Each structure stands twice: as structure tokens, then as C-alpha cells.
Amino acid sequence: MLVKWKEAPTSACPRCGEPENARHVWTCKEPAVFFVWALLMSAFSKWLESVHTANDVIYWIIQRLTEWRSAEPFSRAQSDMPGLLQAIHAQDQIGWLAFLEGCIAIEWAGVQDAHFLWLGRRNTGKRWATSLVVKLLEIAWDLWDHRNQVKKHVETAQDIARRNAVMIAIRSEYAFGKSGLPKRDWRLFERPLRSILASSLHYMDAWLLRVQTARSRKERKDAEALDPSVNTAEDNLPSMNGPRRVLQQFLNSAVQPQSP
Ligand SMILES: [Zn+2]
């Protein structure tokens, strides 16, 4: 049974009863969530250490996330580390919800590059940043998991693995964006990434399928333009076997974005 996604932002938080949206999953004021958050930040901090993150970088990331979660004004960042203040400032502009969702300022990689050089390590800031994004995805999942357990939606390990895989695929589609797609498919990207990732698994599946379908449609059109003899009849598409077509028709009718 599909949950209409429009219901998601207005439904009550299973933990505190306040209206729930994507941000609320992080910022819920229910006391148990403070505890879960503290555990997550402690584990995150240890992980940052394990990948040779500079102490000042660890301190300011945890500090900012904690301030952001409790809606405190940001404190004045201080550090002698080259580039760190710029990185913090850049992230302040992008936002810390975005950070938690893996959208990290490029300046962080530069700060770590300098730190690795200073440590005499051959690691690169870019690789560090990549593993950071993966780690943030895990943290997001842990928090979602807590929320879902509270809601007594006990998911099997298989469901969890599937949800993770779908979220990673959606992130990568989103990173690729609407470039190259015809205008009518742009609306698939109207909804913010965090909102898509906060949806039901059904919705995420539907979104992914529609984006991937739009891309393969575009690839076929391109191939056809290059070689008119290529058979592009919809029925002959190897990737669109019977059940998938039926599923797609169902999803197209059941999960429509807000605006047509
Ligand atoms: Zn709540």
C-alpha cells in the first residue's frame, strides 16, 4: 500500500507528536532522541579520529551539528588551522542539515589535504571527504532506524539493506541531476533531495524508476538521432520487461508529484 507522500510532512512525529518533516527527524526534542543523538555524535567523533581528521575539524563539526540540532545561534568559530574558518563558513552557508545529508562544502577536503601533508600521510582530502559522506549516510540511517523502531515498524535486515541501497542510488541520480533530460522530466527533481530520502520506500522506488526510465528514454532518443535505423519501438526495449512496465504504469498513476 502506497503512502501518499504529501501526507509525510504533516503527519505527527511518532516520538514527540509534533508535526514531522525531514528536518524534524534530526531535531526532535523528545528526550530519548537527545540520548540517541549523543551516542551518534560520540561514535561519529571516534570515527573521524580513526580516519585522521584534524582535532579542530572534529571539534567544529560536532559543535556546529550540536548547535544546529538544538537551534542555538552558531558560536564564533576560532582556529589557527589554515582554511578551517572558511570551511565552517562555507558549510554555514550550505547548511548543516545539508551536511548531515552528505552535502559537504568542498573546503573541508582542502583543510584535510593540508593536515595529511603536515602529518606526512599519503591520504588525500578528497578520499577523506568521500568516506565522510558515506559515514553521514550511515548516521542518517541510524537516526531513521530509531524513529522507525519507535513507530513499531520493525523492519527486517533485508528491508534495511534495501532501503540503504535505494538511498545511495537516489543520491547518485540526484548528483547527476536533470542535465540532459527533456524539460518535462525536470519536475522529478523539483522535490528536494532530503524530502525524497525522507519518503517511504515505495515512493523512493517509484522516483528512482521514473528517473532511470527518463534517462534510458533520453539515451534511446540520442541513439536514434545518431542512427535512424536503430529500432526504438518501446516494446522492444530489453530493459523494460513485462512486469517492470506494469509496475511503472502503476507507479506513474499512483505516485504523482504535487504539480502536473
Ligand atoms: Zn519528534
* Ligand 1 centroid to residue 81 C-alpha, Å: 37
**144 C-alpha to ligand 1 centroid (Å):** 12
Q: Are residues 57 and 139 in the same domain?
A: yes
14 occurs within a structural domain: no
CB within 8 A of 215, min separation 6: which ones?
Answer: 180, 181
Q: What Å distances lie between residue 78 and 45, 59, 177, 219, CA to CA? A: 19, 11, 36, 50
Q: Does position 152 have pLDDT exceeding 70, yes or no?
A: no
Decide: 28 and 49 in contact? Cβ < 8 Å: no
Asked if residue 221 lies in contact with residue 215, where contact means CB atoms within 8 angstroms, the answer is no
Provide the pLDDT for residue 98: 92
The three cell numbers of residue 255 are 505516485
pLDDT at 84: 97
Q: At what angle do helices 31-50 and 125-150 cross, to 10 degrees?
A: 160
| pLDDT at site 218 | 82
Which of 8, 2, 1 is closest to 192 using CA atoms?
Answer: 8
Domain closes at, from 132, 152, 172:
152
Residue 16 is assigned to a structural domain of this protein = no
- Quote the ligand 1 centre to 30 CA distance (angstroms): 6
* Triad 137, 63, 141: Cα angle to 5°: 15
Position 157 confidence tier, pLDDT thresholds 50, 70, 90: low
Q: What is the mean pLDDT of residues 145-163?
A: 68
Distance between Cα 31 and ligand 1 center (Å)? 9
Question: Among 152, 173, 208, where does a domain finish?
Answer: 152
Are 108 and 143 in a shared domain?
Answer: yes
Asked whether residue 110 falls in the same domain as residue 134, the answer is yes
**Residue 4, pLDDT above cutoff 50:** no
Per-residue pLDDT tens over the stretch 73-105: 999 999 999 999 999 999 999 999 999 989 999
Q: Are 88 and 24 in contact (CB under 8 A)?
A: no
Domain housing 136: 22-152
What is the phi/psi pair of residue 19, to 5°?
-60, 140
> What would the grid cell of residue 120 be?
606526512
pTM value? 0.55
In this structure, are 63 and 135 located in the same domain?
A: yes
Distance from the alpha carbon of residue 27 to the mean position of ligand 1, in angstroms: 7
Shared domain for 143 and 189, answered yes or no, is no
- Can you give the pLDDT at residue 119? 95
Q: Which residues line ion ligand 1, judged by CB < 5 Å?
A: 13, 15-16, 18, 28
Nearest Cα neighbor of 15 from 138, 153, 136 is 153
If one counts the domains in the chain, the total is 2
**What pLDDT is attached to residue 158?**
63
Q: Write out pLDDT tens, residues 159-210.
A: 677 788 889 889 988 888 888 788 888 888 988 898 888 888 878 888 888 8
Confidence band (pLDDT; 50, 70, 90) for 235? very low
Q: Are residues 72 and 191 in the same domain?
A: no
Tens-place pLDDT, residues 23-63: 888 888 887 788 888 889 999 999 999 999 999 999 999 99
Final residue of a structural domain among 100, 118, 152: 152
Residue 162 and residue 224 in one domain: yes
Give yes or no: residues 143 and 170 share one domain.
Answer: no
Of 153 and 42, the structure prediction assigns the larger pLDDT to 42
Q: Are residues 114 and 130 in the same domain?
A: yes
Question: pLDDT tens digits for 213-234?
Answer: 888 888 888 888 877 565 444 4
Neighbours of 157 (CB within 10 A): 7
Tell me how far apart the alpha carbons of residues 156 and 143 are, in angstroms, rounded to a whole number: 16
Same-domain pairing of 56 and 178 = no
- 103 compared with 260, residue with greater pLDDT: 103
pLDDT tens-digit map of 103-146: 999 999 999 999 999 999 999 999 999 999 999 988 888 888 88
Instruction: State the distance from the centre of ligand 1 to the C-alpha of 161, rounded, in angstroms.
Output: 25
Verify that 123 and 210 share a domain, yes or no: no
Enclosing H/E stretch for 165: helix 157-176
Q: How far is the CA of 149 from the centre of ligand 1 (A)?
A: 13
Same domain, 173 and 111: no
